[in-house]
Amino acid sequence: MVILIMLGLISASPATGTATFDFLLIAPTAREAVVGSFHPAAGSGAFAFYYNPAQLLASTAPEAQFSYINYPAGVNAGSAAYRQLVAQGRGFGAGFYYLNSGTMKRTNEQGEELGTFGVSFASLKIAGAQTVADRIDIGLSLNGLYGSIDTFFTVGVAGDAGAVYRLPDYHLSIGAGVRNLGLQIKPFGDYRDPLPFDIALGAAWQPVPALSLGVGVHKSSTDRFRFGCGVEGWAGSNIILRAGYDSRGSDWNDGTLGGLLAGFAAGLGIRYDRYQVDYSFLPMGVLGFSHRLSLGFSL
């Protein structure tokens, strides 16, 4: 069951091939897991640069963020990030992200138990961004990657690039980015696998201060074109309500209620003073349900 979940979380269309370090396509933060279409255009929190390094300049105050993801059968993930401005129109960020399977039984061809093993992946990312023209920010990041399956391990390196164009008169942001452009330096075995290269384009519109809408598309090297849409709005001065849809959910539809809801997501945020807690709930069909929790604060 754990193997099924690990593969399902990073699954791609069978017609498009596979890649190593596919966990990089899983959203680590609670807010972006719901309003997925906002990723390249209007990220929030310290780890916004994970989706588009140009988002380092989305906030002028130093920020830190911690997130935890809980999946069925003991699979879990977590992240931590920090970002700040280092000069006018120039920002820096760093973040860590991991995915772990927990303990799984090792068996031979006859089904006899031979102990246990685990699967884990991790990335360490540093990023920088700069304003290059009126209303245009660009960013770059470098990502060190590590993975292990039992006694085997792999090492890789990847880079991201992104841009954000802001139209304040229309309360509109347009973002674009490429992620995971790199290589597997040390493979698990004799052959190197490609990384899950991803291209994304999105737009976020804020018609009134208390409401944001977004839409986006992306294409990874391991999957077909995907689209998503999301909405978030303030319900009072401290609570944010969110809902969204990701077309990837169609792959998890197993005919059950959870399967029919797969792709839809809901969540909320609670802000108090300099602190914000975000929660998201995602039905994933045969894989069960995913919960994400993020804590962010300004320094």
- Closest by CA position to 63, among listed 278, 275, 291, 280: 275
Asked whether 87 and 69 are in contact (CB, 8 A), the reply is no
5-14 CB burial, b ≥16 within 10 A, e <16: bbebbbbbee
Tally of structural domains, the chain: 1
Please tell me whether residue 103 adopts helix, strand or coil conformation. Answer: coil
Domain limits for position 233: 2-298
pLDDT digit string (tens) for the chain, length 299 residues: 444 444 445 443 333 446 889 899 888 999 999 998 778 898 889 999 999 999 999 888 999 999 999 876 678 999 999 999 999 999 999 999 999 987 777 777 777 777 788 899 999 999 999 999 989 999 999 999 999 988 899 999 999 999 999 999 999 999 999 999 999 999 988 889 999 999 999 999 999 999 999 999 999 888 888 999 999 999 988 999 999 998 887 777 766 666 678 889 999 999 999 999 999 998 877 777 889 999 999 98
Q: What's the gap between Cα 36 and its chain centre?
A: 8
Q: Are strands 211-220 and 113-117 parallel, antiparallel or unpaired?
A: unpaired
- Using H for helix, E for strand and C for coil, what is the string for 131-194? EEECCEEEEEEEEEEEEEECCEEEEEEEEEEEEEEEEHHHCEEEEEEEEEEEEEEECCCCCCCC
Residue 263 — φ and ψ, nearest 5°? 105, -30
Q: What is the pTM of this model?
A: 0.87
CB atoms under 10 Å from CB of 104, counted, come to: 17
Q: What pLDDT sits at residue 151?
A: 86
Q: What is the CATH number of the domain that holds 281?
A: 2.40.160.60
Alpha-carbon gap, residue 38 to 246, rounded angstroms: 11
291 class by beta-carbon count within 10 Å (0-12 exposed, 13-18 middle, 19+ buried): middle
Residues 6+ apart with CB under 8 A from 169: none
